[in-house]
Amino acid sequence: MFKKILVANRGEIALRVIRACREMGVKTVAVYSDADARSLHVRQADEGVCIGPASDALSYRNIPHVLSAAEMTGADAIHPGYGFLAENAHFAEVCELIGVTFIGPLSGQIALLGNKVKARETMAQHKIPVIPGSEGEIRNLSQAVQSAGNIGYPVMVKASAGGGGRGMRIVGREEDLGKAILAAQVEARAAFHHDGVYLEKYFEDPRHIEIQVLADTHGHAVHLGERECSVQRRYQKLLEESPSPAVDDSLRKDMGKMALKVVKAAQYRNAGTVEFLLDRHRKFYFMEVNTRIQVEHPVTEMVTGTDLIKEQIRVAAGLPLRFRQQDIGFHGHSLECRINAECSETFAPSPGVVSRFHLPGGPGIRVDTAMETMGTVNPHYDSMIAKLIAHGQDRDETIARAKRALDEFVIEGVKTTIPLHRLILNHPDFQKGGVTTGFLDRLLAGRMP
């Protein structure tokens, strides 16, 4: 087992990793920017190292500074959390070269799955259903027009190195294709330093279902069921739940088997998420693999009783998984609300000082956060303040507990998305479990000026 882990992140996920390490008897190092010097994750770690100014490019994404902190403190492993360097294949490769364990997949696996075109090609070769799309990246407009015609409109232009909804455009007719490709390329170049794009068939009102997987270095892999992630705004998830109201035991078994087939095809190890699109005919298609722990991982932990962060650390240390597929059980229902410092109607960021902060409690409620009274929502970083996770015997009880907890949650000094979560949880379509990826955009269009 590792003696000391450097946590290359901030906020709630950094604190989550530090707590897991403490329970495992592993020392921790927190890295932080000037803006985070007084943050909770820094105070809870055994050591702290400032790695730069507030800008994440000069601190949390600064590979030489992060690695220097690891060398200075004698850390033998680095946990990247999510975001920042978590899916940076170059960072993972440098860690491998200098002998510091990257707690995640190997750099080659990140590189393969981070390129959506290569990932699609690999899965298709292994008979894994992928969304109909272009063969490789788009080279010119004439090729794009031909590919789109073969696929059938509407199509989606997607960045090859994309993620988080960036570098994506929906195109409904041929005359708009060239403009959409150019816009996606510009956005992709700015976000990912690579402007390659490809085309996929655009499905009307699908569901976004993801499967949590774990794989060790001894040839063992398991899936831990699905998460429903269809409550999205502009491809950004806002609320997740497990199990999905749309997935029964038979479909779960099929999707789980396919997710493990993806793991085998990519020779994947550690924790990851295989994302599928589920159409109205209950056919599912491979979309991508997130090669890291997910923001929404707590809902899986709640229904399976598995600590995914500890399992990540154990696998990275070379230990075998402590369970097999037949040992995984699913108990009750769980959902997670992402509480962001944003206006609920305009989604404008709301940075500032949190003058009052009171957490909800009671049966079945968990809150993952690094915020506290007089803490600061920094404009330089993601606006998420907390993750409210509810668990109950069934979906109805879980929704009721989540609504009660939202009413107890007190955050003053900044605007938050709590009112929007109340709106979602009270909506009949959500309560019936019938939402698709277009649900939230339609809901917002109906209530906003």
Residue 268: which of 290, 298, 296 has the closest Cα? 290
Where in the sequence is the domain holding 191, given as residue range(s)? 132-201
CATH number of the domain encompassing residue 10: 3.40.50.20
CA–CA separation, 128 vs 263, rounded Å?
A: 11
Give the residue from 86, 103, 120 where a domain finishes. 103
Q: How much is the pTM?
A: 0.94
Contacts of 392 (CB under 8 A, 6+ apart): 332, 333, 334, 364, 398, 399, 400, 401
* Cβ atoms of 181 and 252 closer than 8 Å: no
Amino acid identity, residue 77?
A
Residue 368: which of 6, 19, 5 has the closest Cα? 19
Structure tokens at 240: 């997740």
CA–CA separation, 271 vs 315, rounded Å?
A: 9
In terms of DSSP H, where are the helices of 217-321? 249-266, 297-304, 308-316
The reply to whether 384 and 428 lie within a common domain is yes
Is 124 a member of any domain?
Answer: no
Which residues are catalytic, by number? 292
- DSSP string covering 152-167: -SSEEEEEEEEETTEE
- DSSP string covering 36-66: GTT-HHHHHSSEEEEEESSSGGGTTT-HHHH
Residue 46: which of 77, 25, 76 has the closest Cα? 25
CA–CA separation, 426 vs 52, rounded Å?
A: 44
The reply to whether 270 and 168 lie within a common domain is no
Angle at 444 between CA 390 and CA 440, to 5 degrees: 50
How far is it between the farthest Cα atoms of the chain? 61
Is 431 a member of any domain?
Answer: yes
Q: If residue 392 lies in a helix (H) or strand (E), which one and from where to where?
A: strand 384-392
Whether omega for the bond prior to residue 154 falls within 30 degrees of 0, making it cis, is yes
- DSSP string covering 288-316: EEE-S--TTHHHHHHHH---HHHHHHHHH
The reply to whether 304 and 325 lie within a common domain is yes
The reply to whether 211 and 165 lie within a common domain is no
Give the residue from 182, 201, 220 where a domain finishes. 201
Is 113 a member of any domain?
Answer: no
How many domains does the chain fold into?
A: 3
The reply to whether 94 and 51 lie within a common domain is yes
The reply to whether 25 and 98 lie within a common domain is yes
Please state the φ and ψ torsions of residue 187, each to the nearest 5 degrees: -65, -40
The reply to whether 275 and 414 lie within a common domain is yes
Q: What is the pLDDT along the chain (449 residues), one digit of tens a residue?
A: 999 999 999 999 999 999 999 999 999 999 999 999 999 999 999 999 999 999 999 999 999 999 999 999 999 999 999 999 999 999 999 999 999 999 999 999 999 999 999 999 999 999 999 999 998 899 999 999 999 999 999 999 999 987 777 899 999 999 999 999 999 999 999 888 889 999 999 998 999 999 999 999 999 999 999 999 999 998 899 999 999 999 999 999 999 999 999 999 999 999 999 999 999 999 999 999 999 999 999 999 999 999 999 999 999 999 999 999 999 999 999 999 999 999 988 899 999 999 999 999 999 999 999 999 999 999 999 999 999 999 999 999 999 999 999 999 999 999 999 999 999 999 999 999 999 999 999 998 886 44
What's the pLDDT at 447? Answer: 63
How confident is the model over 325-357, as pLDDT tens digits? 999 999 999 999 999 999 988 899 999 999 999
Residue 405: which of 389, 423, 384, 383 has the closest Cα? 389
What's the pLDDT at 403? Answer: 98
